[in-house]
């Protein structure tokens, strides 16, 4: 699995002792803006997700050691967003480890990067050794400066607001009318 679940008390401890955007980042994928976890949570509604928005989020959060996703219940949208994010991050790391993207079919032209004058020579395609590729990828990923932890808030905002909706340090913009059906 590309992520793990985090309990409410763990997230409370993180929010109270760490700095949002530096030590952690909460990503709210709910469809409503009625309430969000506080301390710098990012809104990333699941219905607005695109490949580009995921890539932008990966780039924006590349130096943040913990990224915590949640939706209303954290049963579908939050975990799916966490999985997509983790896959995109892993792909970005893989591409960085490999350098420039490779040609289709696993071949790399030896003529790439040469001047236009030198382009008159025929390009010789050579097969890429998959074992060397795997070793290079593993080495680059393991030596990357930051191993990011991707988390999903267990029970989502429903459970969160049931416990902390009256705590202004943990919840902002709480609208009881929107969340009434989820209240304990």
pLDDT tens string 132-160: 555 555 555 455 547 899 999 999 988 99
Q: What is the CATH number of domain 4-99+146-182?
A: 3.40.250.10
For the beta carbon of residue 182, count every other beta carbon within 10 angstroms: 16
Q: Are 149 and 61 in contact (CB under 8 A)?
A: no
Question: What residue ranges do the domains of the chain occupy?
Answer: 4-99+146-182
- φ, ψ dihedrals at 142, nearest 5°: -70, -25
What confidence category does residue 50 fall into, taking pLDDT thresholds of 50, 70 and 90? very high
Residues, the chain: 184
pTM value > 0.75: no
């Amino acid at each position: 699995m590309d992520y793990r679940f985090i309990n409410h008390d763990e997230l409370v401890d993180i929010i109270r002792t760490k700095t949002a955007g530096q030590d952690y980042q909460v990503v709210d994928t709910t469809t409503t803006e009625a309430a969000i976890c506080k301390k710098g949570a990012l809104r990333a509604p699941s219905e607005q997700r695109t490949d580009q928005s995921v890539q932008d989020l990966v780039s924006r959060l590349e130096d943040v050691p913990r990224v915590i996703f949640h939706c209303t219940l954290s049963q579908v949208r939050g975990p799916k967003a966490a999985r997509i994010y983790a896959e995109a991050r892993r792909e970005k790391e893989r591409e960085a480890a490999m350098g420039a993207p490779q040609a289709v079919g696993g071949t790399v032209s030896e003529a790439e990067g040469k001047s236009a004058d030198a382009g008159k020579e025929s390009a010789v395609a050579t097969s890429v050794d998959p074992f060397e590729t795997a070793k290079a990828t593993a080495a680059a990923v393991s030596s990357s400066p930051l191993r990011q932890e991707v988390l999903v808030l267990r029970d989502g905002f429903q459970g969160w607001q049931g416990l902390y909706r009256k705590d202004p340090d943990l919840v902002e913009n709480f609208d009881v009318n929107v969340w009434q059906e989820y209240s304990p």
